[in-house]
Structures are given as C-alpha cells and as structure tokens.
Amino acid sequence: MNHTTNLVIISGPSGGGEDSVIESLIKRGLPIERVVTTVDRPMRPGESEGHPYYFKSRKEIDSMIANDEFAERAEVYGSKRGATKKELERVMALKNKIGIWKMDWKGSQTAKKEYPDALAIFITAENIDKLIERLKKRGDAPEYIQSRIEYTKEYYDNKGIYDYEVINEEGKLEQTVDKVIAILKKESYLDNNI
C-alpha cells in the first residue's frame, strides 16, 4: 500500500514499550524523524527544548489553542499537550524520513480523522497484568499505576482505530521492533532491502 503521508502513529498504554520501540528503530539507523509534541509541564532534568518536547506555559498553550495552532491536542494526566500544525508540516516535508508521531489513543483517533492515510500501530504487552507488572518494576507510585490501569482499559476498548496491533512480549524488544519494521516494509514506508 502506498501512503500519501510519511506519518506513522505509534501508540500504546503506559508500560507497553512504545518509547523503547521508537528508540530501537532510531538506534538501528532507520530514517526516522520524531514529531515533537508541545507540552505545558516544566522541563525535567536531562530534557531540553525539543528533546523530548517543546515546553510552553499553560497560558502559551491556551493562546495556541485559541489561534488554532494544533493539529491534535489533549489533556493527559493533567497536562495539556499536542502536535502543532507547524511541527507536522516540518516532519511531512522530510520526504526521505518516516515521521513517527507518538500519542495516546484519543490523539490517535483525532489524528486518523485529520490524516486518514497515516499508519497507526498499537503497541502493548501481552495483557493488562503484564503492563501492571512493568509499571511496578519501573517504581511508579501505586496511585499513578491505578490511574494508568483505568486509562489502559480505554486503549483496549478503542484499539479498533489502529491499523496494526503489535504485542511487545517481555524480554523480546528486538523481535517486537522486527515486527514493526516488517509492517513498515509491507506498507511501503521502508524499502524491502533494509
């Protein structure tokens, strides 16, 4: 299948491994460009503007919303975030790159309406129990884990919005990445010689 856009949506619940998959695709040297999301939370240690987000104040985000600058936006875990039209234009102009757009299920639903030709891949663990186990291993607080569990159920209830589902089994990240690469080849985002 040939797509008219270079956008690939990667989405999954907390603990599903979507960040690990994206990082592994980049480490393998694939022609990837991340769509950088704009957020209204403070920068954390080790972060910088554009890595991994563009950081704005709540007031700036509200102004951007009023000016219709977002292609997709949501309030997730108390933080307003989204991808600006300008950022998507930047990534879509890179014809030799795959634009990886990471977002939650609500954002994926909106993005598929705006960009129906974008490929959407749902990445998750074998089951909700495995996701909970991964969140606990990360050392996340019990109340954080509980909020993620509730939201995870919404992912599963709405997974029909995705074109593909990839199960990221515990300890098998490279096999998961191989599955994503096979999808990108099948959908003509990557040359079969890669």
Lowest mean pLDDT among 123-132, 138-147, 151-160, 175-184: 138-147
Which pTM was predicted? 0.88
How far is residue 63 from each of residues 66, 111, 161, measured CA to CA in Å? Answer: 5, 21, 30
Are 31 and 98 in contact, with CB atoms under 8 Å apart?
yes
For the chain, give every domain's residue range: 7-186
Are 161 and 120 in contact, with CB atoms under 8 Å apart?
yes
CATH number, domain 7-186 = 3.40.50.300
Picking from 27, 121, 105, 24, the residue whose alpha carbon sits closest to that of residue 72 is 105
pLDDT at 2 over 70: no
The beta strand positions in 62-118, using DSSP E, are: 70-76, 79-84, 98-102
Picking from 144, 96, 117, 169, the residue whose alpha carbon sits closest to that of residue 8 is 117
pLDDT at 111 over 80: yes
| Token pair belonging to 186 | 């099948």
147 against 174, higher pLDDT:
174
pLDDT at 134 over 50: yes
Tell me what the mean pLDDT of segment 91-118 comes to: 93
Q: Is 97 left (phi over 0), alpha (psi -120 to 50) or beta?
A: beta
The per-residue pLDDT for range 10-19, each reduced to its tens digit, is: 999 888 889 8
pLDDT tier at 1 (50, 70, 90 boundaries)?
Answer: very low
What count of residues does the chain have?
194
**193 CB neighbour count, 10 Å cutoff:** 5
The per-residue pLDDT for range 32-51, each reduced to its tens digit, is: 999 999 999 888 888 899 98
132 against 178, higher pLDDT:
178
